[in-house]
Amino acid sequence: MAPEIGKIGEHDEIQSEMMGEMCLVVDIDDNVIGAESKLSCHKDDGIRHRAFSVLIFDSQGRLLVQKRSTQKITFPGVWANSCCSHPLDIESENTGNDGVKNAARRKLDQELGIPMGISEDWAFHHIGRMEYSCRWNEDWIEREVDHIMVVNSDTEVEHNENEISEVRWVDSDEISRMMSGEGDWSGEVIAPWFRLIWQKFAIPHECAPLKMASSINEDIIYCGEVNMDGDSVNPGQTLLDALANHRERVEGEIMESLGKMEQKNLHGAMTHLFKGGGKRLRAILPRLVGEAVGGENEGHYTLGASIEIIHNFTLIHDDIIDQDPIRRGLDAVHVEYDDATAINAGDAMLAVGFEILAESDDIPDNRLGHLITSIGEMVRKVAEGQQEDIEFETREEVSEQDYIEMIAGKTSAMFETCARTGAILADADRETIENMAEWGLNLGLCFQLMDDLIDVTGDTETLGKPAGSDIVQGKMTLIAIHAKQSDEDLPNFDIVFGSGDCDAESLAKAVSELENSGSIEYARSRAMHHHSVAHECLGRLPKSPAVEILKELTDFQLIRIS
């Protein structure tokens, strides 16, 4: 039963009373986990709740749109789709798609004057769901998992003026003008959820009502936080939300696995880097790939934990080799403990990484051998790449091809293996497995080239390691290779490169020379090449929200994920 809520501020009394209705609170996967008042769900930071949006098309293919009354407390005076509201915590509306349809029939009667006796005979085509949030002002917000339904009917409407101030029947050309603010629509405000529905569900089906009605998307499209134009408030937020959804699970797998080590000091060294946080990209990547190729399962978390533990083993040894004192904002393991303990911790982590794969009940025996072979090959490639990197420091000449082959082993092999094994465990066909491996390889190459750029142009606090360390240590990155092969006069770079130490002013002058010589821009262009190849690989997959997340991940590499 809805709680009594008095008149809210200067808002309409009827609208204030409806703020006491009990909405269905849902988790990120749209599972009902409770009920809260409409007021609680929309006030301040809001609470994620279930909603619905109905699109009514007539026989001419025109869509019924409505302008919300200025009496509405949330998003007053904005234009939206035919009907949009919330299922309530009542017996007829709190169960799945049928409950959503029952809620729609109730609101069509209450808002548009379409009797339930008429809508009872309609076919409500449930075409999908989307999750989004949008703030109206500092007091009110929408935070919904919205169920989208299409109806075809030449219906008559008699709208409730307390809910709706105006209705129109508009064709797809008029909706295009509506969305772009042309003609009569200049100055009108369009509801962000309507913009998202049109973008995500209508345009992919040529804005054709029959095609839309026959389409079914079982996955939730995650749009993250958007502004009133339906644009992401935080680019990459959908990806970050996806990572956040999986991070806790994979973190648990990692820490439980490392708990196998009972020796206190060694356990501390093995878990040290994980205290520095991070998005756990590599640990989650196999799961994201599994979702994109349509075969995700619980084993992907163990697989990701295995690769992440082994990845951190390589970082511990890498920091010892390079004598880098900082990693992820923490003292490197060899600094926090000592070289011997750090080496021992790395060795133990490599063993644990393979051990948990063999022990998992979620990894089929017929896939285990393929996974172990792929991860073993990855470790070998990383070691080969690391040795090449070491030897580059004493070689008189290193070519661009030498460098690309080195990072293909040292860095990209990790991404390639995450993608390959994620597809293998998802039981993908050989062509898909190889395609995803190619995507991972190019993703990794882009990642490393961007990492090299950020080392030169970033700062110590952002990087979690000394800024400019590659230049000072004399590392033969693509930037340095291009600079050395150029005919430019780079006196400050020549002094700083490989010096082992320098003051901030000298380093800044060296970076300026690399900018002016085009060396930094050249490395950026090579990163963009691999970014393009990675997108071509994803273009070969069937479209889905999971693939869109991988596309966003590919784009996000241009601003670096660590």
**Whether residues 396 and 289 fall in one domain:** yes
Over residues 378-405, mean pLDDT:
91
Say if 552 falls within a structural domain.
Answer: yes
Average pLDDT over residues 16-28: 87
Confidence check: pLDDT of 63 > 70: yes
* 336 plus 206 within the same structural domain: no
Specify whether 227 is located in the same domain as 122: yes
* Percent over 70 (pLDDT), the chain: 94
Q: Both 57 and 160 in a single domain?
A: yes
Task: Please indicate whether residue 524 or residue 109 has the higher confidence score (pLDDT).
Answer: 109
pLDDT in tens, 235-257: 566 787 788 889 889 999 999 99
Tell which of 233, 250, 276 closes a domain.
233
Q: What is the pLDDT of residues 347-365, one digit of tens each?
A: 999 999 999 999 999 999 9
* Local confidence band at 13 (pLDDT 50, 70, 90 cut-offs): confident
Q: How far apart are CA 270 and CA 342, in angstroms?
A: 8
**250 and 349 housed in the same domain:** yes
Helices (H), 458-518: 460-463, 469-472, 478-485, 491-496, 504-517
> Could you report the per-residue pLDDT of 148-198, keeping only the tens digit for each?
999 999 999 999 998 999 999 999 999 999 999 999 999 999 999 999 999
Q: Is 5 among the domain residues?
A: no
Reported as a single tens digit per residue, the pLDDT across 506-519 is 888 988 889 888 89
Clarify whether residues 114 and 158 are in a common domain: yes
Residue 8 lies in a domain: no
How far the first Cα of the chain sits from its last, in Å, is 48
Distance in angstroms (rounded) separating the CA atoms of residues 47 and 27? 10
Q: How many Cβ atoms are within 10 Å of 103's Cβ, its own excluded?
A: 25
Check whether residue 263 and residue 187 sit in a common domain.
Answer: no
Do 365 and 459 belong to one domain?
yes
Q: Which residue has the higher pLDDT, 232 or 292?
A: 292
Q: Which of 275-284, 286-295, 500-509 has the lowest mean pLDDT?
A: 275-284
Determine the pLDDT at residue 333.
93
Evaluate the CA torsion angle 357, 359, 364, 370 in order and state its sign. positive
Same domain, 193 and 339: no
Residue 515, CB-side half-sphere exposure with 13 Å CA sphere: 9
Q: Parallel, antiparallel, or unpaired: how do β-strands 79-80 and 141-152 relate?
A: unpaired
In 263-272, which positions are buried (b, 16+ CB within 10 angstroms) versus exposed (e)? eeebbbbbbb
Compute the average pLDDT of residues 33-41: 93
Return the CATH number at 130: 3.90.79.10
Instruction: Give backbone dihedrals phi and psi of 364, rounded to 5 degrees, phi first.
Output: -60, 145
Interatomic CA distance for residues 411 and 350, integer angstroms: 17
- Residue burial 492-504, b: 16+ Cβ < 10 Å; e: rest: bbeebbeeeebee
- The torsion angles phi and psi of 130, rounded to 5 degrees, stand at -140, 145
Residue 4 pLDDT: 47
Alpha helices in 208-280 (DSSP H): 209-214, 237-258, 264-271
Task: Identify the residue whose tokens are 């009569």.
Answer: 184
pLDDT attached to residue 1:
42
- Give DSSP secondary structure letters for 255-270: HHHHTT---HHHHHHH
What pLDDT does 35 receive?
A: 94
Q: Is residue 180 part of a domain?
A: yes
Q: Looking at this protein, which amino acid is placed at residue 8?
A: I
Whether 420 is covered by a domain: the verdict is yes
Residue keyed to tokens 């209450």: 110
More confident residue, 428 or 243: 428
Q: Is the pLDDT of residue 431 over 90?
A: yes
Please check whether residue 3 lies inside any domain of the structure: no
Is 445 in contact with 469 (CB distance < 8 Å)? no
pLDDT for the residue numbered 464? 47
* Pair 195, 245 in one domain: no
Least confident of 222-231, 463-472, 536-545: 463-472
> Of 39, 47, 32, 38, which is closest to residue 99 (Cα–Cα)?
32
Q: Quote the pLDDT of residue 462.
A: 47
Distance of alpha carbon 422 from alpha carbon 289, whole angstroms: 5
pLDDT at 11: 62
Q: Say which residue the tokens 């017996």 belong to.
A: 91
Where a domain ends, among 202, 233, 264?
A: 233
Q: Lowest mean pLDDT of 1-5, 146-150, 489-493, name the range.
A: 1-5
Q: Domain tally for the chain?
A: 2
Q: Does residue 278 carry a pLDDT above 80? A: no
SS3 state of residue 141? strand
Which residue from 377, 334, 336, 338 is spatially nearest to 354, judged by alpha carbons? 377
Q: Which of 78-87, 502-511, 551-560 has the highest mean predicted lDDT (pLDDT)? A: 78-87
pLDDT in the model for residue 559: 53
Domain of 299, CATH number, reads 1.10.600.10
pLDDT at 14 exceeding the cut of 90: no
Asked whether the beta carbons of 429 and 467 are under 8 A apart, the reply is no
| Lowest-pLDDT range of 9-18, 266-275, 350-359 | 9-18
Please give the mean pLDDT across all residues of the chain.
Answer: 89
Domain boundary among 199, 233, 267: 233
The arithmetic mean of pLDDT across residues 514-525, rounded, is 88
The contacts found for 238-243 with CB under 8 angstroms, 24 or more apart, are 238/548, 238/549, 238/552, 239/549, 239/552, 239/553, 239/556, 240/279, 241/28, 242/284, 242/288, 242/549, 243/279, 243/280, 243/281, 243/284
In terms of domains, do 440 and 320 share one? yes
Query: Mean pLDDT lowest for which of 41-55, 251-265, 313-327?
Result: 313-327
Provide the pLDDT confidence category of residue 466 given band limits of 50, 70 and 90: low
Helix (H, G, I), strand (E, B) or coil at 146: strand
Residue 296 falls inside a structural domain = yes
The H-or-E segment that residue 25 falls in is: strand 22-26
Q: Which of 159-168, 410-419, 485-494 has the lowest mean pLDDT?
A: 485-494
- Residues 209, 271: one domain? no
Whole-number Cα distances in Å, 539 to 387, 435, 542, 548: 35, 10, 8, 10
Please indicate, yes or no, if residue 337 is contained in any of the structural domains: yes
Average pLDDT over residues 539-555: 89
Domain with 226, as residue range(s), is: 13-233
**Beta-strand runs (E) in 250-361:** 326-327, 330-331
